Structure 1
């Protein structure tokens, strides 16, 4: 997968993530998110997605483009057009 190293991120970057719906665990989609200054740690950044701040973990899969995130999701879950996702 063509992911971004979290250490390379800076506030203002746009990234794309594979978002798993917490209410419907079988539903995943690609969402755009913004890298912002961490609200409680001025030396860190956070992921801002769905109006919520998220701590960025080393194993988070963040992508520079929607296409890269879509390819990764297809690799992980199958191709939507094939009815597998």
Structure 2
């Protein structure tokens, strides 16, 4: 089964990239690799498998085919916190 999302088609077995928020620190997000898999909880549907958890793969999920695309989108949406925060003033 494939899922087409915003002109992209996904198949079980692919590795894609998503933004993942730390469940313990919600204001921290990272680009993370995830596997596209057959959803064991919803036969006939695809899911993202990330950190031993299945997440629904829907048209509302921001999924990127390459790590570079995901990093560019991350920079667009979140900015480079390393550049903004690492000027020494944050840690002083």
TM-score category (smaller protein): 0.7 to 0.9
* Counterpart residue number, 1:75: 76
Q: How many residues are matched?
A: 81
Deviant stretches of 4+, over 2 Å: none
* Structure with the higher fraction of residues in strand conformation: 2
Query: With CA pairs under 8 Å and 6+ residues apart, which has the higher RCO, 1 or 2?
Result: 1
Kindly provide the CA deviation profile for residues 17-49 of structure 1, in whole angstroms up to 9, marking residues without a partner as x. Answer: 011112111211100000011103331111000
Contact 2:15 2:35 in 1 (8 A): yes
Gaps of 5+ in 2: 86-92
CA distance in 2 between counterparts of 1:17 and 1:31 reads: 6
Give 5+ residue unaligned stretches, structure 1.
none
What's the offset of the Cα at 1:80? Answer: 3.1
With normalisation by structure 2, the TM-score equals 0.78
Considering only CA atoms, is the larger Rg found in Structure 1 or Structure 2? 2
TM-score by length of 1: 0.84
